[in-house]
Structure 1
Amino acid sequence: MPTLKDVVAAFVAARECDVSTLSRLDFWVAELGPRDLTEITPDDVDAAVVHLASRGRLRPLRGRATVATGKPLAGSTINRYISQLGSLYKYARRLRLIPRTYVFPTANIEKLPEPVDPESYLRPEEVQRILAVARVLDRRWGKLSALVVLAYHTGLRKSNLLNLTWADVDLIAGTATVSRTKNGEPIVAALSKRSVAELKKLPGKQPDELIFAGRTGRPMHFRALWNKVVIEAGLAGRNFHQLRHGCGHALATAGVNQAQIMALMGHKTLSASARYMHHNTRDKAEIVAKVFDREG
């Protein structure tokens, strides 16, 4: 059985890794590198995560050397380290280094809540600005407006939306079915009236045809178009995934409870939807202050 260090070496050799990814991989090699993959337990991973949290943030020096800053790591950063280890196990399973039924030691590690920064989700007025610009700039593909509306109104991930076929949507019932999500489970998303209206405007509609395909019939690579649109909308740097966060925030602000948000967005853990409830509480506090604190 290969060691974790061996798998990391193969993983890095097979792809281009950015500095952050290499840093996370270096951490796991330092913590568990000599151990065989199947010998690493959830307790080992948990102990490493505790060590990571106590170590805190690092500041890069020359080359790949680093020094501790004394500042704590954000919950989202710690979660990325856990996900990185999970990715290594997925890679090992794909290479058949471990059985397909093997349970990863990261499977039951509880991730930390990740409150959404105000700059990490798109608010309704920002979505409207993006749509207004998209209608003008997207002259060739002509589908970005519909894609934005569906992403914001359903909370579906980009990959799920890009792989939707016309057979997956029922414009009469107002549903979109994703047979397999990131969590490995199917989800049936409810379509708003506006989403249905946007879909009806699109050409095609052959059952096996991808709704958001490019000229080749494969999922459209629209990053350049998206970047152009958000820059013109005065929202440079915002990414498409923030539409999903915007959906969760809008649901929470409207008073939708956490269990319903979990069901609507396909979350499997409370921590995933808790980020939106945090902002719901803050927004409600702002409303109460605005309405009642003036009474004296």
Structure 2
Amino acid sequence: MTTPRDTPASRRIRANGDGTVSQRKDSRWEAAGYVLAPGNTRRRVRVYGTSRKEALAKLTEKIANSNRGLPIPSAQGSLAAYLTYWLEAVAVHHLRENTHTRYAACVNNYLIPGLGKKKLTKLTAKDVRTWLNQLRTTCQCCARNIDAGRNQPRCCATGTCCSKRLSPLTLTYIHSVLKSALEHAVREEEIPRNVARNVRTGTPRPRRFEPLTTDEARRLLTAAQGHRLHALFVLALHTGLRKGELLGLRWEDLDLDAGTAAIRRTLQRTATGGLTTLPTKTRASERRIALTTRCRQSLKLHHEQQQREREAAGTTWLHGGHVFTTVQGGPIDPTNLTRAFLTLLRKASLRRIRFHDLRHSTATLLLEQGVELVVIKELLGHAHIGVTATVYAHVRLRLQRDAIDALCSALDGPTNTGTGNADGDEPPPCAALVR
């Protein structure tokens, strides 16, 4: 009589649902069993190992994941194929055109050349980390043959590497694009987990900006006197509106009697639609703000000027309803506004800054006037107050120093030449602060 111990290993009877294990002709061991598949179906899978124990361990792990409700990954293609599918069939319906263009540039320039040959199901956190470390130290001019494409090569193509490396902010952006794509693969049950989330790239430093001081802001507004877009610069410095929000304003959004403006849309230039008016990017960006007396007066003067331009244009006037338009009534291209702004800076003998720095100038000046952070967050249209606190952390630190100085002066008080308190309860001298 034979016992289970006497039975050959390949013929031992396993319980129903545990799968089967057998040895192949090439001496490898094969284990097969049914596991959960996408769509709440079941599929037979096969795993292999150099020993019976190894094959059985692999099958047991897959069956355990199946029992926990995790379907087996169905993707068999490369990461490049999935990223292409994600851009063309998924992201294009959820992203704005300009954002989709930036995502496509990240995928085509960095993700596919670096990780595209990897199988989607075989991609690991180590692969992502190794690739990011390599990307961090690679000269992009050499890797993408940027210099070789010029009419007259001047650096990498001539043997003198320019060491054009990616900034930490760009690396974080590329990593976030990969995380977004893999997150959708998890939702579609193509892979069990998002391995890119297990890789830390570090928090990049915020981009430096140079806001205008109070004196510089006054000089800019003085130089803008008589400019046909004077009201736009007044509004930009008093409200902190973005460039697209300013150019997207319509007269129907303004209530000059009540002194309010409704921010509902933004103007952008896209590759396919040209100048396009779009809704605000987030719900927080859609807001109602108060207008100062100076803003209301400048807007009323601007409206009268626009009426004169409309009469002069006659039938060629474009009836778009925008507050700030060209002399023919059409929307203003954001690039043309930047050129006019730089010309105004030169006229005022001010340093060169970005138009977006006017927004930073508004927030900085408000903070220095003691305005609450939550009020500035509502005015700027930030989604979370943490964004406002992070961007303007250096301003708040300076205000803290001023507050400590004021407290120090209050605690010092007038110099006491008397004998002091009898109980010796004298306040300690305030230490000198190092600036």
Q: TM-score range by the shorter chain?
A: 0.5 to 0.7
RMSD: 4.8
Q: Residue 257 of structure 2 aligns with which residue? A: 172
Q: 1:275 aligns with which of 385, 390, 406?
A: 390
2:71 equivalent in structure 1:
none
Q: Deviations over 1:114-157 (max 9, x none)?
A: 646352x3333222222222225x3xxx12x2111211221211
Indicate the residue corresponding to 1:241 in structure 2: 356
Say whether residues 1:4 and 2:94 are aligned partners: no
Moved more, 121-130 or 161-170: 121-130
Cα separation, partners in 2 of 1:33 and 1:152, compared to 1, 3 Å: farther
Which protein shows a greater Rg? 2
Name the CA shift for 1:163/1:213 in 2 (closer, same or farther; >3 Å).
Answer: same
Q: Distance in 1 between matches of 2:117 and 2:283?
A: 31
C-alpha spacing 1:52/1:256, structure 2 compared with 1 (3 Å): farther
Distance 1:118 1:286 in 2: 21
SS in structure 1 of the partner of residue 261 of structure 2: strand
Q: How far did residue 171 of structure 1 move?
A: 0.8
SS in 1 for 2:249: coil
Match of 2:302 in 1: 202
Rounded Cα–Cα distance in structure 2 between residues aligned with 1:241 and 1:51: 34
TM-fit CA distance, 1:169: 0.5
**Runs of 5+ unmatched residues, structure 1:** 16-20, 90-104
Q: Shift in Å at residue 288 of structure 1?
A: 5.0
Shift in Å at residue 214 of structure 1? 0.7
Q: Do the aligned partners of residues 150 and 60 (structure 1) sit closer, same or farther apart at CA in structure 2, a change above 3 Å counting?
A: same
Instruction: Among all aligned residue pairs of Structure 1 and Structure 2, give the percentage whose two residues are the same amino acid.
Output: 25
Q: What is aligned with 2:45?
A: none
Q: Quick check: 2:289–2:379 contact (8 Å CA) kept in 1?
A: yes
> Which amino acid is 1:274 matched to?
A
Count of residues in Structure 1 that have an aligned counterpart in Structure 2: 257
Match of 1:148 among 233, 255, 273: 233
Matches of 2:216 and 2:107, distance apart in 1 = 34
Higher strand share: 2
Deviation at 1:181, TM superposition (A): 1.7
Q: Name the SS of the counterpart of 1:260 in structure 2.
A: helix
Q: Which residues in structure 2 correspond to 1:240-259 (within 5 Å)?
A: 240-259=355-374
The amino acid across from 1:198 in the alignment is: S
SS at match of 1:129: helix
Q: Is the CA contact 1:3–1:35 (under 8 Å) kept in the aligned structure 2? A: no
CA shift at 1:60, angstroms?
4.7
Unaligned runs of at least 5 residues, structure 2: 1-76, 99-103, 147-155, 182-193, 265-278, 308-318, 413-429
Q: C-alpha distance in 1, partners of 2:224/2:255?
A: 25
- Which residue of 212, 215, 230 maps to 2:324? 212
28, 46, 52: which one aligns with 2:111: 28
Which residue number in structure 2 is paired with residue 191 of structure 1?
291
How far apart are residue 159 of structure 1 and its match? 0.8
In structure 2, relative to structure 1, the CA distance for the partners of 1:265 and 1:6 (3 Å cut) is same
Match of 1:203, SS state, is helix
Shift of 1:33: 3.8
Bigger fraction of residues in helix: 1
